[in-house]
Structures are given as C-alpha cells and as structure tokens.
A and B are shown apart, each in its own frame.
Chain A
C-alpha cells in the first residue's frame, strides 16, 4: 500500500494520472456547477427573513469552505513533502496557494456584499469575516515567502514549515477572534447560521460546494503539472513528452 502510494508520487507517474484526474474533476465541476447555479438562482425559495439576498449564500459559503479546505490541503501536502520528501506534494501545495487566496478574497467580498443589505454596512468585525481576513493574510504571507526565495526547493521547504505553523495557529486564531467578537458585540450577529436549513436551500449549497471543490482540484493539478514540467525539464521522460507532442503536431 505505502509502496504503491509512493510510486504514484514519482514525477512521471504523477504527470500521467493527474492529467486524467484534472480532466474528470473539471468536467464534474462544470456539471455540478451548472446544476448548482440552476437551483441557486431559479429553483430555490427566497428566505423568509433575508428575501432574495439569501442567494449570495450560494457563492459565499462555498468560497469560505474552499478557503479553509485549501489551507488544510496545503498543510497536509506540506507535511507529506517534509516527512517523505515527495517533491510532487510541495508543487501541489504551491499550486494551491493562489487559488486559496482568490477564494478567500471571494468569501470576503461576498460577505461584505451580503452584509450591506443585512447589517447596513459593508464591513462588520464579525468573527467569521475577521477570521477570513486573517486567513487571507496567512495566504499572502505563504505566497510571499514562496516567491521571495530564489531556489525552488528551498522555497518549497521553507513555505512548508510556514504552512504547518499556520495550521497549528488557525484554531487558536479562530477561537480568540470568536471570543473577542462575542465580548464586544454579544450574539447579535448570528444571522448567518441557521439552526436547520431547508433541503431546497441545502441542495444548491451542496452542489455549489462540491463544484467548487472539484474546480480547485482541477486547477491545482494543472498548475502543479506545469511546475513539474518546468522542474523536470532535463529528465528523459519530459524530453520524450516534448518529442511526442511535436511529432503529433501542436494542438
């Protein structure tokens, strides 16, 4: 089992299976996304309190979910790359970071757009938005460190340490922010979480969240594959790949 997994992490193997996986994830994401958008915009009821503005949720919640999911993925991939020295893992982590930053930004922007009609202001220091803002800073720090170190392998390992430090801190940050926000404004701003959500609203939410997750998988794999080609350009299998591509004519 371990040996098999380790073999799949070899650059050439990874290149082969990740292409297929990325394609499937991409099409799956499109399919679920179209269905999700249909339910989100047409076939779900307006909220009894928030009216039609509840439809922002179908963008906001998947983005927020993805922003955290991607950070966890970066941390997991970092651990794998530090412990088992699997190079592919740190390429995947590096490829994930910009996507995570984009979706964190999306979660913040849509949160703000949702907040304006609900709370009457563009920004409120609510626990979730604040945590999301700090998460954005964590992403930017990670990307900044990755970009600042010239040597690719060193950069990847340094960033991996930072990701692990970050992941230990995230629960602490989250807890402290939660504590701080309840101290200062009480439990007034809990419009976001409902005790139970109706199936008609849960359906588009789940579809959109799955679609977003698959979208991330597809994009991260494609970015990681590109980085892999760049780093392995001297190896025999990449040369063969180029020759095969030229022989077969450019697509």
Chain B
C-alpha cells in the first residue's frame, strides 16, 4: 500500500475533523452561546449607560471570546484520545507537528470562526460602532487562531488526565495575556481614533511565531502524554 502525499493527508485530516465537529451541533453551539451570555451579563451587572458600555466593550468582548475559546479547547483532542485515533496519528509516517496544525486549524474553523460571526452582534449590544467594529473583527481574526494554537499545547499536556479542565485553564490563561492586551488595546485605540497598526502588527507577528512553534510544542506534549 502506498501512502498518500502529505498535502493530501493534511487536508483529509482537516476535512475529517470539520465533518466530525459539524455532526455534533450541540457541542458547536455551546461556546458560542457562552460567549453571548457572558457579554450580555455585563450590562446587567452594572449601569447600562451607553458611554460606559462603549468604554468597556473591547475588554468585555475580548474576555468573553477568550473564555469561550478556552471552554471549547477541551474537545480538541478528547474524542481522538478516547477512541485511540490519536495514537494512530502518532504512528503515521507524516510529521506530527503538521498533523497537529491540521487539527488546530479544523478546531479553529468550527469554534473560532463562529465567534467572529457573532461578534458584530455583541458589538452592537455594547454600542461599539463604525471603525472600531472593523478593528474588532480584525483583532478577532488574528487573535482567535492564536488562542487555538496556544491552547493546543495546554490540551496536549492535560489530555491524559481525567479532570484536566481547571488545570487547563490555569496553564493556558497566563499565556493568553499578551493576546488579550494587544487585541483589546487595538479596539480601544480604534475607538479613541488612534493608530492601531502597531497592535495588529504585533498580533500578526505573534500569530506567525505561534504557527511556527506551537505545533512543535504540542506534538512533543502529545508524545509525552501518550507515552
């Protein structure tokens, strides 16, 4: 039997993961619903003054997105770990970091991208409008893949543990700090009419760095967890 080419295998894995996720609509909707609820709770928890809401909107939306992305992380390797597909993946002749990248990309397509789609709605709820909304979408587009990539390392480290949920958040949240700061900072700057290219460039640089390094760390962590 001859093995299919790397590109072929990569896209096959991506497609398989996306198809599998689409079959379980409930799991898909949960983080999204969580995102909407968290953001909707903030005006209820304080004075719904439009000016105040506009002030806190970048931070609130980004913290909500961060928590929703974290909530969705656990499912990244879970089912493959349970049914042994992950171990098979380790045995294939393809480089593991690239396969990890395919899985992370699939995970982002089904959990990160939807966050981007509902974000404009939430932005309207918090009186975030105009250019700031565009920058919010740009920051989410650059930031949520970062969250998935960094998160994958944490998931890979805790996948063998029965109760890894709380530990996962402890491992991953400190590493999310720069993403939160630059992304929310960019949106805040856009609201104030200041330049945002610096922050967005930084997010882009971080994304490039994470694409290059995070799959390596994730692959190493998976090998250790499945040892």
Contacts and interface: CB of A to CB of B under 8 A. Distances in A.
B200 interface: no
Nearest to A138: B174
B167 A144 contact: yes
A176 B221 contact: no
Interface in B160-193: 160-161, 164, 167, 170-171, 173-175, 177-178, 181-182, 185
Given A149-B161, A154-B227, A137 B167 contact: no
B182 A158 contact: no
Contacts of B220: 82, 161
Contacts of B116: none
B170 A165 contact: no
B167 A134 contact: no
B217 A164 contact: yes
A140 B170 contact: yes
A183 B188 CA distance: 11
Interface stretch (A13-21, A111-119, A166-174, A242-250): A166-174
Given A158-B221, A176-B178, A177-B177, A141 B171 contact: yes
A145 B181 contact: no
Nearest to A136: B174
A27 interface: no
A179 interface: yes
B160 to A, nearest CB: 7
Contacts of A23: none
Contacts, number: 72
Nearest to B214: A165
Contacts of B37: none
A188 to B, nearest CB: 19
B157 interface: yes
A172 B167 contact: no
B206 interface: yes
Contact of B157 (A162, A169, A173, A175): A162
Contacts of B174: 134, 137-138, 141, 166, 169, 173
Contacts of A69: none
B182 A165 contact: no
Interface string B67-80: 00000000000000
A100 to B, nearest CB: 14
Contact of A145 (B158, B173, B213): B158
Contact of B177 (A134, A145, A154, A183): A134
A163 B170 CA distance: 14
Nearest to B226: A154
A159 to B, nearest CB: 8
A173 B177 contact: yes
B217 A137 contact: no
Contacts of A179: 181-182, 185
Contacts of A148: 158, 161, 164, 167
Contact of B224 (A144, A158, A166, A176): A158
Contacts of B181: 176-177, 179-180
B221 A145 contact: no
A128 interface: no
B225 interface: yes
A161 B157 contact: yes
From A157, A175, A176, residue with most partner B Cβ within 10 Å: A176
Contacts of A134: 174, 177
A162 B213 contact: no
B131 to A, nearest CB: 19
A145 B157 contact: yes
A248 B137 CA distance: 73
B115 interface: no
Contacts of B224: 154, 157-158, 161
20 contacts: A140-B170, A141-B170, A145-B157, A145-B167, A145-B171, A148-B164, A148-B167, A149-B160, A149-B161, A154-B224, A154-B225, A157-B224, A161-B153, A161-B157, A161-B221, A172-B178, A173-B175, A173-B178, A176-B178, A176-B181
Given A137-B173, A162-B157, A173-B175, 7 more contacts: A141-B170, A145-B158, A149-B160, A158-B157, A162-B171, A176-B182, A177-B177
Interface of B: 153, 157-158, 160-161, 164, 167, 170-171, 173-175, 177-178, 181-182, 185, 206, 213, 217, 220-221, 224-225, 227
| Across the A-B interface, the 8 shortest Cβ-Cβ residue pairs | A176-B178, A137-B174, A176-B181, A141-B171, A141-B170, A180-B181, A157-B224, A172-B178
